[in-house]
């Protein structure tokens, strides 16, 4: 009789021994998860989709940047959306695909890392974080089969190690380590082409920001779903730098200067990009 009550702390479940928030919620409150298996068949109305994310390594860390557009079919659903987020102090993730689910997966992933850190008293290894993200994307596979896919890009540094690492994913949760640079989303093909020409080993942080912004401008030039820098509304890409001392967002003023120099150069050149 005693054991029965012990298992049922009124509001606190002490039973589980897992340090994973994702596992805990899957067991105790599965309805809170962004993905649910067994969606009935039906016609899905157009939903906002996030587009292009680029990431690249530089001397002393890794950078991730995303444009600010979400599209719904051929419409622009949102001009201000942010698709790159800090996952914890030493890693960031960007998301492409169905925005509604992607943003919730980001939130789930952020809580997952913080939860582990609080329960265990130490933070997960970078590989461990990358694997947990893969597990979440795999859990979303039934939704992906219905057309609600989410494809993240994950980047970070191991605490105390200055070299950054990049991980890409497919909808089945497959995790692939990328070298030098990578991009995901609808404009990724064009961004990748730009990165191949612009990236070089040993970039400084400032040069890396300029390379990422220019790759996004190139993507927006050819992909209608990727938003370029908006000079009228003063909207710049979201750019995060992850170095050994932590992840930090690049300020609006710094980005404005980078965008203006790229645009000015292209205006004087007057070429087809």
Partner 1 sequence: MAQQFYVSPEQIMKDRADFARKGIARGKSVVVLGCRDGIALVAENPSPTLHKIGEIYDRIAFAAVGKYNEFESLRQAGVRYADVRGYSYDRVDVTARGLASVYAQSLGTVFTAEQKPFEVELAVAEVGETESGDHIFRLNFDGSIADVSGFLAMGGQADIVQAALAALWQPGAGLGQVLRWAVAALESPHAQAAAGVAASGSAKPPVAGGAHLPAATLEVAVLERTAAAERGSHRAFRRLGDDEVASALAASS
Selected from 36, 79, 80, 107, the binder of partner 1 by CB under 8 A is 107
Selected from 115, 138, 192, 266, the binder of partner 1 by CB under 8 A is 115
Q: Which is nearer to partner 1, 48 or 86 (CB)?
A: 86
Give yes or no for residue 14 binding partner 1 (CB under 8 A). Answer: yes
Selected from 69, 75, 118, 253, the binder of partner 1 by CB under 8 A is 118
- Gap between the Cα atoms of 260 and 251, Å rounded: 14
Give yes or no for residue 135 binding partner 1 (CB under 8 A). Answer: no
Residues 55-94 that bind partner 1 (CB under 8 A): 89
Give yes or no for residue 109 binding partner 1 (CB under 8 A). Answer: no
Give yes or no for residue 28 binding partner 1 (CB under 8 A). Answer: yes
- Cβ 112 to partner 1 shortest distance, Å: 9
Give yes or no for residue 159 binding partner 1 (CB under 8 A). Answer: no
Q: By C-alpha distance, which of 254, 174, 270 is closest to 212?
A: 254
Q: Centre a 10 Å sphere on the Cβ of residue 145 and count the other Cβ atoms it contains.
A: 11
- Cβ 5 to partner 1 shortest distance, Å: 4
**51 assigned to active site:** yes
Selected from 2, 42, 160, 202, the binder of partner 1 by CB under 8 A is 2
Give yes or no for residue 145 binding partner 1 (CB under 8 A). Answer: no
Q: What three-state secondary structure class fits 176?
A: strand
- Gap between the Cα atoms of 45 and 78, Å rounded: 17
Stretch in the footprint of partner 1 (CB under 8 A) among 57-65, 108-116, 205-213, 216-224 = 108-116
Stretch in the footprint of partner 1 (CB under 8 A) among 14-22, 57-65, 255-263, 264-272 = 14-22
Radius of gyration of the chain (CA): 20
- Gap between the Cα atoms of 246 and 105, Å rounded: 22
Q: Which is nearer to partner 1, 114 or 230 (CB)?
A: 114
- Gap between the Cα atoms of 39 and 100, Å rounded: 16
Residues 31-50 that bind partner 1 (CB under 8 A): 32
Q: By C-alpha distance, which of 46, 45, 102, 100 is closest to 72?
A: 46
Q: Dihedral (C-alpha) 212, 137, 130, 249: value to the nearest 10 degrees?
A: 40
Q: What three-state secondary structure class fits 164?
A: strand
- The single-letter DSSP state of residue 125 is P
| Helical H segments across the chain, by residue range | 2-7, 21-28, 99-120, 126-139, 141-145, 188-198, 205-222, 252-269
Catalytic residue among 17, 51, 98, 204: 51
Instruction: List active site positions.
Output: 51
Residues that bind partner 1 in the complex, under the rule CB under 8 A: 1-2, 5-6, 9-14, 16, 21, 24-25, 28-29, 32, 89, 107-108, 111, 114-115, 118-119, 121
């Amino acid at each position: 009789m005693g054991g029965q009550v012990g298992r049922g702390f009124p509001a606190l479940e002490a039973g589980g021994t897992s340090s994973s928030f994702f596992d805990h919620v899957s067991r105790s409150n599965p309805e809170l998860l962004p993905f649910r298996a067994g969606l009935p068949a039906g016609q899905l109305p157009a939903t906002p989709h996030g587009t292009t994310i680029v990431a690249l390594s530089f001397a002393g860390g890794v950078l991730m940047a995303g444009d600010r557009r979400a599209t719904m079919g051929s419409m622009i659903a949102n001009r201000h959306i942010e698709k790159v987020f800090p996952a914890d102090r030493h890693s960031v993730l960007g998301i492409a695909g169905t925005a509604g689910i992607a943003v919730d997966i980001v939130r789930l992933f952020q809580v997952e890392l913080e939860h582990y850190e609080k329960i265990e008293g130490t933070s997960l290894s970078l590989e461990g974080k990358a694997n947990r993200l893969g597990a979440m994307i795999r859990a979303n596979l039934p939704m992906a089969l219905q057309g609600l896919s989410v494809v993240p890009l994950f980047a970070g540094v191991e605490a105390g190690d200055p070299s950054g690492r990049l991980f890409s994913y497919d909808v089945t949760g497959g995790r692939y380590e990328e070298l030098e640079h990578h991009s995901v989303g609808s404009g990724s093909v064009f961004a990748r082409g730009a990165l191949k020409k612009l990236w070089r080993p040993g970039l400084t942080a400032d040069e890396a920001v300029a390379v990422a912004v220019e790759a996004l401008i190139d993507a927006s030039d050819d992909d209608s779903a990727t938003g370029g820098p908006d000079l009228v509304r003063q909207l710049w890409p979201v750019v995060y730098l992850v170095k050994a001392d932590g992840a930090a967002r690049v300020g609006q003023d710094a980005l404005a200067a980078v965008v203006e120099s790229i645009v000015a150069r292209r205006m004087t050149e007057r070429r087809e990009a």
